Structure 1
Amino acid sequence: MKNGKSITLSFLTGILLFFLVTPTASAQIDNVSRILQASQGDANILVREYLKPFGSGFGAGINTGWTNTAQPHKKFGFDITITTGLAVVPGSDKSFDVTQIGLQQLELESGPSITQTINGSDESPSNNATTLAAYETINGQRVKLFQFDMPSGTGFGYVPAPKIKVGLGLFKDTEIMVRYVPEISIEDYGTFKQTGFGAKHGINQWLPGGKLLPVDISIMAGFTNLNVTSDFRITDQDVITDPNNTENPYAGQSTTWDGQKVEINTDAFTFSALVGKTLPIISVYGGVGLETSTMSIKTPGTYPTIVPNPAFETDPQNEDPLLVDTIEQPIDVELEGGNSFHALAGFRLKLSVFHISASYTLSNYSTLNAGFGFTFR
């Protein structure tokens, strides 16, 4: 069997990340008890398809919330704003066909070929689940290495993305913006860190008669990096489904599986041209722009895997056709965001130094963003 190793991790990455940012995914942790296995190539394909809407939605969400007016702060004016973007997952990205994604080792064992992504239906997989299996020919016989049911989705068709931003006005109608959350540990789940920087520049000053215009015109750009790391543990006992036919050289060696974790890194960039009007209490604005995002998912560490037992074919006394083996960093995928061009509109309501704001970004993954904070000048 080419790449004859099978892994015990395919969707745990998405389950852990989604669990970190929204309570609605807590039920997905139950899927960990049914470890999903695939050849390394197939596992990466399945991770990519299962998490595709999360990668796009999360990238769209963190690309919002950079501004709540078209007008930059006056010199030394500043704001502190906490916002959350909520991206809407299109219906077409809530499911996929396992027979159309290029799987090499896995085949459809039973059930429908259409299965859910992480943002798809949360109907229990036991109800007519999509079951995938891997087979190997050993001593002329077709032996099943393993099978598993595809997990359901969360039933939550949205992707949240929280942010904290500080903006500071400088000279020449220019505002710089910073996003920063130092690395924090979420007990039992992992660590979270966010950094970002952006700028907004008013261009009325550069337009003939621009200072006489009744609206503010500006350009804005922002870059955000977010990193999530979560430890977990999958042992040899989690992958053995046929103990009577599986040789396990790692029995009792618990330290073999130390160091397992999932590392998820997201980079997002957005650029917009804005036009709006700022009044003493309310500001309104709109604009168009471009955005990109990339989410990478890696799983450093050593993981248990089920493979054909070479000794079974050469040693007549060996009665175990299957063998527990190891694999290093089984998952390494990148998810490109689904957005490119966008249009947006929003408002800010300012009450003394306190403000609330909201905006809506129209794109492939449309996003509602809302927040509050404090503004001076």
Structure 2
Amino acid sequence: MKNSLRNMAKWALPALGLFLMSSGAQAQDEVGEFIRAGRSDANKLIQAYAEPVGKSLGHSLNGGWFNSGKAMGLGRFDIRVFGSVTFAPKDAKTFDLAGLGLQQVRDANGNKFAGRSVLTPTIFGEDKDGPGLTVYARNPVTNQEERISSFNAPPGTGVDFMPFPVAQLSVGLIKDTEVAVRFVPEIKMDDFEISLWGVGVKHGIKQWIPVVASIPGFDITVFGGYTNLKSAYRGIDVGLADEDQAFASAQQRSAGYYDGQAIELTTKAWTVSLVASKTFSVITGYAGPKYSNVQTDLAAIGKYPVTAYKTTAPFRYVEDVDTPVNISMKDSQFGLTAGLRLKLLFFSMYGEYTLAKYPTATAGIGLGWN
């Protein structure tokens, strides 16, 4: 897979920072070209390309909260480490340029996309370049549209899943209630920054249903959880394109003028579940319906060079655009979660799978008195 991890890092970089510290990710090529398409078209293109990974990341964060339908007793605790992997559906591997309503971006021949389907890879698509694209702007003097840039839509990674690791502490409280906490203080790794926190509550409802309360080894709970992930990649370096050097000011051409560029990503994920479980000796099987809601906000921070026209000489110039990309990727889905836990004294291991549009597989280990 040519540059597959590198390309994944370009867009899912904040989410994958823990995995890709050693990859010299260089996002400036595709970021720079998309931004040169103008604020409106750049946001549309980047959102269509990156949205599947924003959704997958959120659904990954909503996995692994529980491994049984029983809330721990007062004072009991469990520390666990697990990984969740969310898989992209087939329709999340490409997007149609014709459906984006692009204004300045055309195909390689300068033709608009309206009325014809032109598919290009998302981040989860095939590891090959997308179609050739050109950017046009209207010259106010001649009133003619002129080509100002050309590039290929970026390739996919050839990888159709999003992994994410999490550590969690769960503690039993009164009234058959359990609280779970996730926390990662801010970590800086070269150009990566990442921090995470989350809280979840599980409450046993078996105690409120007399018929169910009499069934030995059977438990049922309701669960709700929220996770917040903030991350950034500050290794972006989108400078002037060679063809724009002649139209830039001396200040814009000076070293360090475009420093401070970054990609910042925030993911908010919350989930609710109804979980039933049955324990047989050291094995517990659990299952139940699950609702998952996610929102991932992505922004390109700093100033970036974009070619533009004005009505006075020199007519063509380089405009500095601040925060040209600011998009929000949202998704929600219902699913069915089922899993198994093996518990031996203070050690446990478990695995589960959530059947949904973006399915998630989770596996982990735990230590504690539960």
Show the counterpart of 1:374. Answer: 367
Query: Which residue does 2:346 correspond to in 1?
Result: 353
The match for 1:67 is 66
Structure 1 residue 101 corresponds to structure 2 residue 127: no
Deviations 1:210-245 (A, max 9, x none): 3212410111110000010221343533x33354x5
TM-score by length of 1: 0.86
- In 2 relative to 1, CA 132–279 (structure 1 residues): closer, same or farther, beyond 3 Å? farther
Report how many residues are paired.
Answer: 352
Sequence identity percentage: 30
In 1: Cα distance, 2:9 partner to 2:133 partner:
17
Q: Counterpart amino acid of 1:271?
A: V
8 Å contact from structure 1 (residues 71, 278) kept in 2: no
Q: Which residue of 2 aligns with 1:324?
A: 318
The question of 1:150 aligning with 2:153 is answered yes
Paired residue secondary structure (2:104): coil
The correspondence for 1:16, drawn from 6, 13, 18, is 13
Q: TM-score, normalised by structure 2?
A: 0.88
Equivalence map 1:126-275=2 (5 Å): 129-137=131-139, 139-140=141-142, 141-187=144-190, 189-214=191-216, 215-237=218-240, 239-241=241-243, 243=245, 246-275=247-276
Q: CA RMSD in A?
A: 2.5
Gaps of 5+ in 1: 1-10
Give the 3-state SS of the residue equivalent to 2:47 in structure 1.
Answer: helix
Q: Measured at CA, do residues 314 and 288 of structure 1 come closer, stay the same or move farther in structure 2, by a change above 3 Å?
A: closer
Unpaired runs of at least 5, structure 2: 1-7, 111-116
CA distance in 2 between partners of 1:235 and 1:250 (Å):
15
Q: Give the corresponding residue for 1:335.
A: 329
Letter in 2 for 1:194: L
Q: Which residue of 1 aligns with 2:301?
A: 300
**Shift of residue 191, structure 1, vs aligned partner:** 0.9
Q: 1:186 is aligned with what amino acid?
A: M
Match of residue 288 from structure 1: 289
1: CA distance, partners of 2:346 / 2:123? 40
1:31 Cα deviation after fit: 5.8
Match for residue 113 of structure 2?
Answer: none
The 3 A distance-change label for structure 1 pair 220 and 235 is closer
**Is the Cα contact below 8 Å between 1:21 and 1:160 reproduced in 2?**
no
SS class of match (1:103): coil
Matched residue of 2:251: which SS? coil
Q: Output the amino acid matched with 2:323.
A: Q
Give the distance between the partners of 2:339 and 2:109, measured in 1 at CA. Answer: 48
Q: Does 2:364 match 1:364?
A: no
Q: Is the 8 A contact 1:13 1:262 kept in 2?
A: no
